[in-house]
Amino acid sequence: MSERIGVMGAGVMGSGIAQVLAISGHEVICRDLSEEVLEMARSGVDTGRFGVKSAVERGKLTIEEADAALGRLSFTTDLDAAVDVDLIIEAIPEDLGLKMRFWRDLDAIAPQSTIFASNSSGFSVAAMAAGTERPDRFIGWHWASPAPVMKLAEIVRGPQTSDSTVDTVVRLAAAAGKNPVVVKDTDRSWGYVANRVYFAMMREADRVVAEGVADREQVDQLMRDCFRWPSGPYGMVAGAGSGWS
């Protein structure tokens, strides 16, 4: 089933999310405040390391599929052009106050049927939904960077999120080749599941380094060799911040 999807934010995460959903067959409108950011997003989706042309070279897409995906994806600075959709995914900076103001303002102009999904890495879904009139249609959809590659779909159900909202987002994630896992919202600590466990690991890694037991490079190497991780904990920090470029 094809949907109209708005992605708010065209940075590394937003543009990657938009690319994945366009490849999956949806009409996607990616919005940002900056034309410069949008131009970088266009270039990244087309010819970037994880863009559609790279996917063609690696045999993941045909040329026809890549061209069709690009045809379904548009970029704009016009907010009104990006809100008349079935689903809005927010990928703006990780600042709770900013996100809450964003959703409050968006709630006033988006169709009442539109589902709101935040790509927050750990803020409470209930807190973000509180400023809207649609807590039943508000959900967390946490992606991992780079979005075109990583299988993570941490679907965060708020206390008022409806079954139909969960079902819709799970369906979209699975159809896009992700592995949706539905978890409960919490306001006890930041990070849902993936980041709570990750930060626990980082605290212990930092303790090892501070005690002089090993340096960062050694910690990364040991974790890769022992657990077959593609990257160690410190490499993950650098890679996620740069989009693994």
Whether 26 is catalytic = no
* Per annotation, catalytic residue among 15, 26, 119, 154: 154
Using CA atoms, how far apart are residues 145 and 240, in angstroms rounded to an integer? 6
Whether 3 is catalytic = no
* Per annotation, catalytic residue among 24, 121, 124, 145: 121
Q: Beta strand pairing status for 27-31 and 179-184?
A: unpaired
Whether 121 is catalytic = yes
- Residue 163 is which amino acid? D
Using CA atoms, how far apart are residues 3 and 133, in angstroms rounded to an integer? 22
* Per annotation, catalytic residue among 15, 120, 145, 195: 195
Whether 64 is catalytic = no
Q: Beta strand pairing status for 152-157 and 138-142?
A: antiparallel
Using CA atoms, how far apart are residues 191 and 185, in angstroms rounded to an integer? 10
Using CA atoms, how far apart are residues 170 and 160, in angstroms rounded to an integer? 17
Using CA atoms, how far apart are residues 201 and 203, in angstroms rounded to an integer? 5
Q: Are 156 and 192 in contact (CB under 8 A)?
A: yes
Q: Are 219 and 209 in contact (CB under 8 A)?
A: yes
* Per annotation, catalytic residue among 142, 164, 204, 242: 142
Residues belonging to the active site: 121, 142, 154, 195
